[in-house]
Structure 1
Amino acid sequence: MSASADEPARQAIRKPKYTRITQQELPACKPSLTPFAVISIFTIIGAAFIPIGYACLKASQQVVEASVRYDDVCLPGGSHEEQEQSLLQTNGSGSACVVTVTVPRRMSAPVFMYYELDNFYQNHRRYMTSRSDAQLRGSSVSAASLHKSCDPQATLNGSANAVIEPCGLVAWSYFNDTFQVSLNGAAVALDDSNIAWKTDINKRFPSANASHFNTVPELRGGNSISGSIKGDEHFMVWMRTAALRNFRKLWGRINTDIPAGTNVTVAIQNRYNTYRFGGKKKVVLSTANWLGGANPFLGFAYFGVGGASLAFALAFLVLTWLTPRQPGDSGQLSWNKNK
Structure 2
Amino acid sequence: MSQTQATHTDSIEQDSNSGEKDKKAKTRKPAIGIIFAPIGGLLLWASSQVQEIVIDYSTCAKDAPSEDAGEGFVVMDPKKVTSSFTRANETIQPPMWKKSTSNVTVNRGVELNTTICSITFNIPEDLKPPVLFYYRLTNFYQNHRRYVKSLDSDQLKGTAKSAGAIGSGSCDPLRLDKSGKPYYPCGLIANSLFNDTFHEPILLNLKSGDAPDRSNKTYPMYEKGIAWPSDKALYGPTKYKVGEIAVPPNWQERWPNGYTDENPPPNLAEDEKFQVWMRTAGLPAFSKLALRNDNLTMERGNYQVDIELNFPVTVYGGTKSLVITTTTVMGGKNPFLGIAYVVVGGICVVLGALFTVTHLIKPRKLGDHTYLTWGDQPTTGMSTGRDIRGVSNA
Structure 2-normalised TM-score? 0.67
Partner of 1:199: 230
2:150 is the counterpart of 1:111: no
2:321 is the counterpart of 1:291: no
Q: For 2:360, what is the secondary structure of its paired residue?
A: helix
Q: Give, in angstroms, the shift of residue 116 of structure 1.
A: 1.0
Aligned pair in 2 of structure 1 residues 69, 112: CA closer, same or farther (>3 Å)?
A: same
Q: Percent identity?
A: 34
Q: Equivalent of 2:43, from 56, 73, 76?
A: 56
Give the letter aligned to residue 312 of structure 2: N
Instruction: Name the CA distance, whole Å, in 1 between partners of 2:155 and 2:307.
Output: 32
Instruction: Name the CA distance, whole Å, in 2 between partners of 1:334 and 1:219.
Output: 79
Instruction: Name the CA distance, whole Å, in 2 between partners of 1:34 and 1:319.
Output: 18
Query: Matches of residues 13-162 of structure 1 in structure 2 within 5 Å?
Result: 34-75=21-62, 92-139=112-159, 141-147=161-167, 148-157=169-178, 159=180, 162=181
Give the letter aligned to residue 331 of structure 2: G
Q: Give, in angstroms, the shift of residue 35 of structure 1.
A: 4.6
Give the letter aligned to residue 197 of structure 2: T
Q: Give, in angstroms, the shift of residue 241 of structure 1.
A: 0.7
- Structure number with the higher strand fraction is 2
Give the letter aligned to residue 285 of structure 1: I
Q: For 1:263, what is the secondary structure of its paired residue?
A: strand
Aligned pair in 2 of structure 1 residues 325, 337: CA closer, same or farther (>3 Å)?
A: farther
Aligned pair in 2 of structure 1 residues 73, 216: CA closer, same or farther (>3 Å)?
A: closer
2:351 is the counterpart of 1:312: yes
Paired residues of 2:136 and 2:287 also in contact (CA < 8 A): yes
Instruction: Name the CA distance, whole Å, in 2 between partners of 1:248 and 1:240.
Output: 11
Partner of 1:279: 318
Q: Give, in angstroms, the shift of residue 106 of structure 1.
A: 2.8
Instruction: Name the CA distance, whole Å, in 1 between partners of 2:368 and 2:288.
Output: 62
Q: Give, in angstroms, the shift of residue 131 of structure 1.
A: 0.9
Aligned pair in 2 of structure 1 residues 216, 166: CA closer, same or farther (>3 Å)?
A: closer
From the CA coordinates, give the structure whose radius of gyration is larger.
2
Q: Give, in angstroms, the shift of residue 36 of structure 1.
A: 3.1
Could you tell which deviates more after superposition, 184-193 or 163-172? 184-193
Unpaired segments ≥5 residues, structure 2:
1-16, 67-109, 205-215, 379-394
Instruction: Name the CA distance, whole Å, in 1 between partners of 2:234 and 2:113.
Output: 31
What is the RMSD of the two structures over their aligned residues, measured on CA atoms?
3.2
Q: Give, in angstroms, the shift of residue 125 of structure 1.
A: 1.4
Give the letter aligned to residue 146 of structure 2: R
Deviations, residues 54-97 of structure 1 (Å, cap 9, x unaligned): 110000000001021222123497xxxxxxxxxxxx98443112
Aligned pair in 2 of structure 1 residues 327, 251: CA closer, same or farther (>3 Å)?
A: same
Partner of 1:164: 183
2:198 is the counterpart of 1:179: yes
Could you tell which deviates more after superposition, 58-67 or 150-159? 150-159
Give the letter aligned to residue 322 of structure 1: I
Aligned pair in 2 of structure 1 residues 222, 189: CA closer, same or farther (>3 Å)?
A: farther
Give the letter aligned to residue 50 of structure 1: A
Paired residues of 2:20 and 2:366 also in contact (CA < 8 A): no
Paired residues of 2:138 and 2:319 also in contact (CA < 8 A): yes
Q: For 1:44, what is the secondary structure of its paired residue?
A: helix
Paired residues of 1:137 and 1:206 also in contact (CA < 8 A): yes
Partner of 1:208: 238
Deviations, residues 159-186 of structure 1 (Å, cap 9, x unaligned): 0xx2222210000011111111212232
Instruction: Name the CA distance, whole Å, in 1 between partners of 2:171 and 2:182.
Output: 10
Give the letter aligned to residue 109 of structure 1: P
2:367 is the counterpart of 1:328: yes
Deviations, residues 228-272 of structure 1 (Å, cap 9, x unaligned): 111100000000111111111101113421234x22211111011
Paired residues of 1:96 and 1:268 also in contact (CA < 8 A): yes
Q: Give, in angstroms, the shift of residue 319 of structure 1.
A: 2.7
